[in-house]
């Protein structure tokens, strides 16, 4: 089974791609206008993190803080890190010479508020093994003109529980702006992600709600992935609703110009992707505005499409139990991407004609233990969109490999069902 999907890597070797993807260096404000804090004042912030006592607030005043070492809050409880405002307190890690992330958090009930993180060489804020994490009005960005210098994730909770990300802004990450990995009980709301490769990504997580956000001008807007071989081996239960997922046509700059994808899955995301579900389980996507994403509005794919090995314990490469309803689409923006193989697949093999933007695509890869025909909808993919008959839907058939890629516009196997996706984040919604 696996081998059949691998050849996509060599599929378009001879096609010369001069894609006209856009790029952005938009900044919320000019931090160079802020007053620069002295070396002693910067050192005081470093000390405050190191010497923090439980149940206290670390206040960081106005100004531009040029940090040369990491800010690490280690194994503390009930701490609030309070800035003076996203446009007033800037922690710059441009001159960090060692360590990955700018701010690292481990602990219990930690809140970070009202500040900006700039130019961390790795991740902006990484929180790990933290039960109770709230990021509110935190802005993380990179200001290098050359985006190949940018770091990986702006806001990065991993292996955490009870995570709330509210009114945050994440920009220009070389991977995902807001990335929640291997965590459970998650709210990402009222936030903005732009200029990233991926706007918001939920990966190997359980019980997540993503709502009221704007993901614009990324290569991909909102992603739900499950990747193999991780300690939290698989994830399920995500609701994505009331988001604006618009104009996600940014160049995929996760790898340098002229270089194709590497082993990081996000490097394969074709510019112009609204929502991408990869090896995702129990995901409900509803009442979103999914507009002007030039390649595809919603892509439903199994991990086999990457061509990477799919053997890993306690993990399934298949996407199943997906429910799309009440979303609005607009496929008026240009032509599908040709810089990534998944873009080429959409552009050349969709069921509505070459170079036509698709609203919804499904790779049609299914687990034969769940059924023997895609017509039976064995993976329980349910699409119940208003005006479905006017949308461009493509279901691919990749079972015969690159030699014979087939596609179908028939949505009927998927349009008369529903999936009951259960999430419950009520107990953290007051945070």
Quote the CA–CA distance of 48 and 56 in Å, as a whole number.
Answer: 11
Task: Write out the E strands in 307-362.
Answer: 320-325, 328-330, 358-362
Find the shortest distance in angstroms from Cβ 165 to other proteins.
17
Q: CB-wise, 73 or 90, nearer to other proteins?
A: 73
Interface with other proteins (CB under 8 A), residue from 116, 182, 185, 295:
182
250 binds other proteins (CB under 8 A): no
Torsion of CA 103, 106, 109, 115, to 10 degrees: 0
Torsion of CA 270, 172, 24, 300, to 10 degrees: 20
Quote the CA–CA distance of 26 and 141 in Å, as a whole number.
Answer: 10
Q: What is the DSSP letter of 265?
A: G
- Token pair 């956000």 is found at 213
Q: CB-wise, 156 or 393, nearer to other proteins?
A: 156
> If we measure between CA atoms, which residue out of 4, 2, 1 comes closest to residue 404?
4
> If we measure between CA atoms, which residue out of 172, 129, 113 comes closest to residue 148?
172
11 binds other proteins (CB under 8 A): no
Quote the CA–CA distance of 275 and 394 in Å, as a whole number.
Answer: 15
375 binds other proteins (CB under 8 A): no
Could you say which residues in the range 38-67 bind other proteins, by CB under 8 A?
39-40, 43, 46-47, 49-51
> If we measure between CA atoms, which residue out of 155, 160, 154 comes closest to residue 132?
160
Find the shortest distance in angstroms from Cβ 67 to other proteins.
10
Quote the CA–CA distance of 301 and 373 in Å, as a whole number.
Answer: 17
Q: CB-wise, 91 or 246, nearer to other proteins?
A: 91
Quote the CA–CA distance of 96 and 402 in Å, as a whole number.
Answer: 46
Chain-centroid distance of CA 271 in Å reads 13
Quote the CA–CA distance of 424 and 325 in Å, as a whole number.
Answer: 19
122 binds other proteins (CB under 8 A): yes
Stretch that binds other proteins, among 20-28, 68-76, 82-90, 187-195 (CB under 8 A): 68-76
Show the 3-state SS of 342-380. HHHHHHHHCCCCCCCCEEEEECCCCCHHHCCCHHHCCCC
212 binds other proteins (CB under 8 A): no
6 binds other proteins (CB under 8 A): no
Find the shortest distance in angstroms from Cβ 229 to other proteins.
4
424 binds other proteins (CB under 8 A): no
144 binds other proteins (CB under 8 A): no
Interface with other proteins (CB under 8 A), residue from 312, 348, 382, 419:
312
Q: How many CB atoms lie within 10 A of CB 51?
A: 9
Interface with other proteins (CB under 8 A), residue from 116, 141, 152, 217:
152
Residues that contact other proteins, how many (by CB under 8 A): 57
Q: What is the DSSP letter of 229?
A: S
Q: CB-wise, 100 or 371, nearer to other proteins?
A: 100
Interface with other proteins (CB under 8 A), residue from 6, 11, 28, 72:
72
243 binds other proteins (CB under 8 A): no
Interface with other proteins (CB under 8 A), residue from 19, 78, 80, 159:
159
Q: Which residues bind other proteins (CB under 8 A)?
A: 39-40, 43, 46-47, 49-51, 68-70, 72-75, 95-100, 104, 106, 121-122, 128-129, 151-153, 156, 158-159, 174-175, 179, 181-182, 227-231, 254-256, 259-260, 262-265, 267, 308-309, 311-312
């Amino acid at each position: 089974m696996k081998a059949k999907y691998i050849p996509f890597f060599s599929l378009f070797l001879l096609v010369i791609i001069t894609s006209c993807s856009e790029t952005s260096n938009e900044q919320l404000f000019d931090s160079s206008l802020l007053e620069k804090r002295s070396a002693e004042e910067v050192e005081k912030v470093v000390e405050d993190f190191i010497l923090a006592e439980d149940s206290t607030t670390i206040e960081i005043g106005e100004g531009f803080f040029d940090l040369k070492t990491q800010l690490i809050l280690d194994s503390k409880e009930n701490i609030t890190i309070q800035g003076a405002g996203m446009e007033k307190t800037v922690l710059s890690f441009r001159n960090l010479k060692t360590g990955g992330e700018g701010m690292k958090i481990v602990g219990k009930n930690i809140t970070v508020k009202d500040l900006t993180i700039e130019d961390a060489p790795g991740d902006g804020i990484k929180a790990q093994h933290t039960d109770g994490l709230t990021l509110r009005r935190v802005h993380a960005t990179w200001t290098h003109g050359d985006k190949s210098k940018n770091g990986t994730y702006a806001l990065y909770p991993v292996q955490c529980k009870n995570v709330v990300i509210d009114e945050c802004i994440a920009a220009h990450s070389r991977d995902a702006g807001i990335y929640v990995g291997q965590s459970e009980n998650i709210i990402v709301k009222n936030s903005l992600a732009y200029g990233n490769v991926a706007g918001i990504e939920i990966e190997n997580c359980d019980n997540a709600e993503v709502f009221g956000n704007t993901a614009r001008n990324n290569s991909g807007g909102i992603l739900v992935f499950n990747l193999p071989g991780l300690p939290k081996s698989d994830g399920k239960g995500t609701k994505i609703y009331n988001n604006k997922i618009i104009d996600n046509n940014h160049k995929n700059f996760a790898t340098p110009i002229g270089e194709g994808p590497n082993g990081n899955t996000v490097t394969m995301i074709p510019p112009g992707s609204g929502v991408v579900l990869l090896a995702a389980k129990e995901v409900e996507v509803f009442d979103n505005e999914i507009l002007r994403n030039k390649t595809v509005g919603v892509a439903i794919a199994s991990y086999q499409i990457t061509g990477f090995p799919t053997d890993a314990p306690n993990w399934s490469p298949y996407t199943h139990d997906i429910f799309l309803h009440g979303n609005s689409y607009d496929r008026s923006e240009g032509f599908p991407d040709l810089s990534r193989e998944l873009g080429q697949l959409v552009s050349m093999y969709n069921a509505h004609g070459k170079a036509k933007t698709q609203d919804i695509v499904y790779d049609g890869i299914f687990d034969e233990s769940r059924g023997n025909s895609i017509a039976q909808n064995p993976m329980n993919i349910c699409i119940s969109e208003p005006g479905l008959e006017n949308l461009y839907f493509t279901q691919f058939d990749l079972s015969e490999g690159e030699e014979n890629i087939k596609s179908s516009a028939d949505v009927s196997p998927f349009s008369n069902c529903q999936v009951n996706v259960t999430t419950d984040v009520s107990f953290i919604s007051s945070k």
